[in-house]
Amino acid sequence: GEVTAIDTSSNEITVVPARSEDSSVTGIVVQYDGDTVFRHDDADASEGDVSVGDIIHVRGTAHLSDGTLSITDVETIAILSGGHVDHEDEPEDSSDDSSDEEDVSLPDLVVDQIDSGDGDTLEITLKNEGDVDVESNDFTVYVWLDGELTWTYSASTLSDQGFLQEGESTTITPQTLDGDTTVKACVDYGDDIEESDETNNCTTEEVNLG
């Protein structure tokens, strides 16, 4: 089915989605007049004491255009904050739980450490902090020195692939350096791997080498 939030010009409801084109959308009612929260296939899908500021959760695929939120392939509808919901397909609190379960079943690649090894040798430790193995090594590691991109490595060319496994790490030694250097390293810089956290792929450290 399809759920459409009424356009702002109708003075009924506007929902601002946290994410679009995704399987789980959370929005906040910022304008509201009347009892209908969503119209589902031209029928009322969810009604009840909804106020401005209430948080609405819809599980489906969201499309936002000109102030109107349309949601296709709808699975569930729920009011998570304020009001109540009367929708036969919605078990209580199910949408939040399912999202959490999806997140923990993904890998999470990080640059765990940047340090000096044997004097002038730069050491960069890559780690998978996720709960499952990384299934592909088709991604890239980037290294910057003092703000300049200096080295790039295809993960598939690294001799030690251990960091692809759940909870494991691998230390690479790109080059020898001399002096104080600001080193920034990023693993999966192009977001080629789906991870539980896409914001922690890079680390920056000041190191003294030589």
Q: Which of 76, 104, 132 represents a domain boundary (last residue)? A: 104
Q: Which of 66, 89, 104 represents a domain boundary (last residue)? A: 104
Shared domain for 99 and 133, answered yes or no, is no
Q: What is the DSSP string of 153-187?
A: EEGGG-S--GGGSTT-EEEE---B--EEEEEEEEE
Shared domain for 59 and 128, answered yes or no, is no
Shared domain for 54 and 138, answered yes or no, is no
Question: Which residue do the tokens 């703000």 mark?
Answer: 147
Q: Tell me: the pLDDT tens digits for 23-44? A: 445 555 544 444 444 444 433 4
> What is the reported pLDDT for 160?
95
Per-block average pLDDT, block size 10, for the chain (210 residues)? 37 41 49 45 43 57 57 55 42 46 75 85 94 94 92 93 96 84 93 93 89
Shared domain for 61 and 126, answered yes or no, is no
Residue 120: CATH number of its domain: 2.60.40.10
- Beta-bridged to residue 155, according to DSSP, are none
Shared domain for 24 and 114, answered yes or no, is no
Shared domain for 120 and 98, answered yes or no, is no
Shared domain for 32 and 97, answered yes or no, is yes
Shared domain for 24 and 113, answered yes or no, is no
Shared domain for 96 and 126, answered yes or no, is no
Q: How far apart are CA 101 and CA 96, in angstroms?
A: 9
Range of the domain at 45: 2-104
Q: Which of 55, 88, 104 represents a domain boundary (last residue)? A: 104
What is the number of domains present in the chain?
2
Shared domain for 177 and 98, answered yes or no, is no
User: What are the strands of the beta sheet with 25-32, ordered from one edge?
Assistant: 13-17, 25-32, 55-65, 68-81, 2-4, 36-40, 43-47
Task: Specify whether the backbone of 196 is left (phi greater than 0), alpha (psi in -120 to 50) or beta.
Answer: alpha
